[in-house]
Structure 1
Amino acid sequence: MNDIREDIIEVPLPLPFALKVVNCYLIKGKNGFTIIDTGLHTDQDLQVWEEAQAKHGWSWNDVEKIVLTHYHPDHYGLAGTLQQLTNAPVYLSRTDWGQAQFFFGRKSDMPERMAAFFAEHGLTEDWVKKIPGHLRSFHSWVEPHPEPTWIAPGETIRMGDRDYQVIHTPGHADGHLSFYDPERQIMIGGDFLLPKITPNISLWPGADPNPLATYLSTLDKMKKVPVKRIFPAHGNAFTHYRERIAQLEEHHEARLQLIAKYVRDLGEPTAYDVCKCLFGDRLSIHNLRFALSETLAHLEYLRVKGKMDLFEKEGTKRYRCKVD
């Protein structure tokens, strides 16, 4: 746990998958603390929050509010439990509350919808069968769900002793929010912008139909915001804000060119065929789900741009490069 500013405390929480750690934050004020993102509902993550209390001298009763950047389990998972412990309101976007229920609600058919979606795009039956159980395994990481209070872009929210602007930064998640202190030019960015890795941009059934276009639009919008330091969910706080945006724009342009090459070389591939070219065929079910969804996001971007045709052949959807 690191004191990054007098009022901002980083709380790194362990994750049982490849990212290893998610950075959550405490913002200290005269009247109490704000928690930003929560980690997963695991004994380990709850223990780290208790260690943060011992180190920094606060209790659950000192928490004024809990604020979430987005609905993904490593950010959302402990929100309901922490709400029960603190009696504090949990703030998030209405969009991402809906996404949390869609992906992780006990009555949701999203696990079956996603399995069918991936099957249409060429995922083999042995993997397709694993998708519903894999998604339902997240229930224990996100329950109980919190009772939400909505926040929306354009509003301000008091965290600690300062007012932060609420900014919609979608792409990684449809309702993703970042929080900006214009006086200090500080941003708490969740997964919007990460210093070393590329935020996953995924196409899911029932969500944004062109998430890469959305994310690139977000990057273009956000490069105009003067930011001296950004506090991300993965990796250290950093200052090369506009440089990092440019790097991510270049990354996606290169990835689009590479995907177009694979489609030309393969002829009429499925998205899963392209995914294997990009990421190999030795992924875990967790990583495969993200790899295939990210491949689809790039393919759909190219299709909408008029660079690809999407058609059905022998029961699966396939892509074909258009002739210039």
Structure 2
Amino acid sequence: MKFERIPLDYPCGPAPEPGASREIAPGVHWLRMPLPLSLDHINLWAVEDGDGWALFDTGMHTPASLDAWRALLGPGGALGGRRPTRLFVTHMHPDHVGLAGWLTREYGCELRMTFGEYMNCRVLAADSGREAPPEGIRFYRRAGWDDAAIAHYRARFGGFGKFIWPLPESYRRLRDGERIRIGGHDWRVVVGSGHSPEHASFHCPDLRLLVAGDQVLPRISPNVSVFPTEPEADPLGQWLESLAKVRREVPDDVLVLPAHNEPFQPLHARLAHLERGHQRALERLQELLAEGPKRAIDLFGALFARRIDQDLLALATGECLANLNYLVQRGRVAASEDAQGVAWYRLA
């Protein structure tokens, strides 16, 4: 998404290297794992929990992440050879949940996730090896994809589980508003949606910390997309409502511990900036539609500063449709299909 940056404070300095840790609050350690993506890292958090560690998120199932975890948790490692006691996963995306199965099996720790994230992860991982369904092909044809793009989708379908170690067959559910005692402090679960079905963030009032996952990031906006499984969904509306909820429930002066980039402050200024950025994107979409009917793929320029290649096409399409669905469901835009099943959007 096209967003101007705003000045934020980054009080924790540069990130630790994979396999290392840095204490950023009493008993709270910052970890970082590599990702084989253009977004090349994820932040994880370890909180002292009795004689072990409560962990937040895991990294992808890759050899580099496995090596980093073994270095961290092994004898002489940065986490002192102490075992994980509990594993809290913010949401189902592979960079967050990818090694949950390995950590719970290897160390016998308890997995905590929301129901929506656990079950959706199980369902999507089960697509591995399947052919692309006709519903998915119709969905992307409707957005304006050509034959080459559809062929690329067919070739890549079923890859969600590639970077996920199989989840354990049981877990313990996280619930919105639940209070959890970790390391002598209460942490409160704050559930939102839009980026994923039932994303959990964790607020510790005593330490003035928010483990934010992907709900609030300092320099990028999390992907908010519509997918073939629910073509009429309104994830952007849900995500904006979730930002408002975070503002109501979490004080401005927390140190935000995001999944990507660096820990930052203040929270509320960043929330307002994200909201303004999305409202401006909606305005740019409507300005383009004022020129005449357009397909979803014709509207990328209103949302993205970079060129959208085949590898980014599904994400860009999903995000564009999230904006269009938001406008359609609020009566600002209308859609109609042509004889080929392609949707054309116009101002209502």
TM-score of the pair, normalised by structure 2: 0.86
Give the Cα–Cα distance (whole angstroms) in 2 for the partners of residues 161 and 308 of structure 1: 51
Superposition map of 1:1-324 within 5 A: 1-53=21-73, 54-59=77-82, 62-106=83-127, 111-112=132-133, 113-147=135-169, 148-207=171-230, 209-224=233-248, 225-227=250-252, 228-265=254-291, 267-275=292-300, 278-279=303-304, 282-314=307-339, 315-322=341-348
Alpha carbons 1:32, 1:160 under 8 Å: kept: no
**Which residue identity is paired with 1:235?**
N
Label 1:235 to 1:153 Cα distance change in 2 as closer, same or farther (>3 A): same
**Which residue identity is paired with 2:87?**
I
Aligned CA-pair RMSD: 2.0
Label 1:319 to 1:10 Cα distance change in 2 as closer, same or farther (>3 A): same
Give the Cα–Cα distance (whole angstroms) in 1 for the partners of residues 212 and 256 of structure 2: 6
Q: How many residues in Structure 1 have an aligned counterpart in Structure 2?
A: 319
Give the Cα–Cα distance (whole angstroms) in 1 for the partners of residues 140 and 331 of structure 2: 23
Alpha carbons 1:38, 1:77 under 8 Å: kept: yes
Alpha carbons 2:128, 2:160 under 8 Å: kept: no
Label 1:135 to 1:150 Cα distance change in 2 as closer, same or farther (>3 A): farther
**What's the offset of the Cα at 1:206?**
2.9
Give the Cα–Cα distance (whole angstroms) in 2 for the partners of residues 279 and 258 of structure 1: 11
Residue-by-residue CA offset, 1:120-151 (whole Å, 9 max, x unaligned): 21111211122243242332201322332211
**Which residue identity is paired with 1:244?**
R
Alpha carbons 1:308, 1:319 under 8 Å: kept: yes
**What's the offset of the Cα at 1:309?**
0.4
Residue-by-residue CA offset, 1:166-199 (whole Å, 9 max, x unaligned): 1112121111010111223311010000011111
**Which residue identity is paired with 1:205?**
P
Residue-by-residue CA offset, 1:192-215 (whole Å, 9 max, x unaligned): 000111111111133581011111
Moved more, 12-21 or 219-228: 219-228
Q: After TM superposition, where is structure 1 displaced by more than 4 Å over at least 4 residues in a row? A: 107-111
**Which residue identity is paired with 2:113?**
L
What secondary structure, in the 3-state scheme, does the structure 2 residue paired with 1:192 have? coil
Alpha carbons 1:80, 1:144 under 8 Å: kept: yes
**What's the offset of the Cα at 1:110?**
9.1
Q: Greater helix percent: which structure?
A: 1
Structure 2: give runs of 5+ residues left out of the alignment. Answer: 1-20
Residue-by-residue CA offset, 1:215-266 (whole Å, 9 max, x unaligned): 111111211221421100001111110000110011001100111112222x
Residue-by-residue CA offset, 1:46-81 (whole Å, 9 max, x unaligned): 11112223122124xx21111100001100111111
What secondary structure, in the 3-state scheme, does the structure 2 residue paired with 1:55 have? coil
Q: Which has the higher contact order (CA 8 A, sep 6+)?
A: 2
**Which residue identity is paired with 1:8?**
V
Residue-by-residue CA offset, 1:77-114 (whole Å, 9 max, x unaligned): 11111111111121111111122123221479794243
Give the Cα–Cα distance (whole angstroms) in 2 for the partners of residues 273 and 313 of structure 1: 15
Alpha carbons 2:211, 2:257 under 8 Å: kept: yes
**Which residue identity is paired with 1:247?**
H
Alpha carbons 1:115, 1:129 under 8 Å: kept: no
**Which residue identity is paired with 1:23?**
N
TM-score of the pair, normalised by structure 1: 0.92
**Which residue identity is paired with 1:177?**
A
Give the Cα–Cα distance (whole angstroms) in 2 for the partners of residues 111 and 229 of structure 1: 42
**Which residue identity is paired with 1:25?**
W
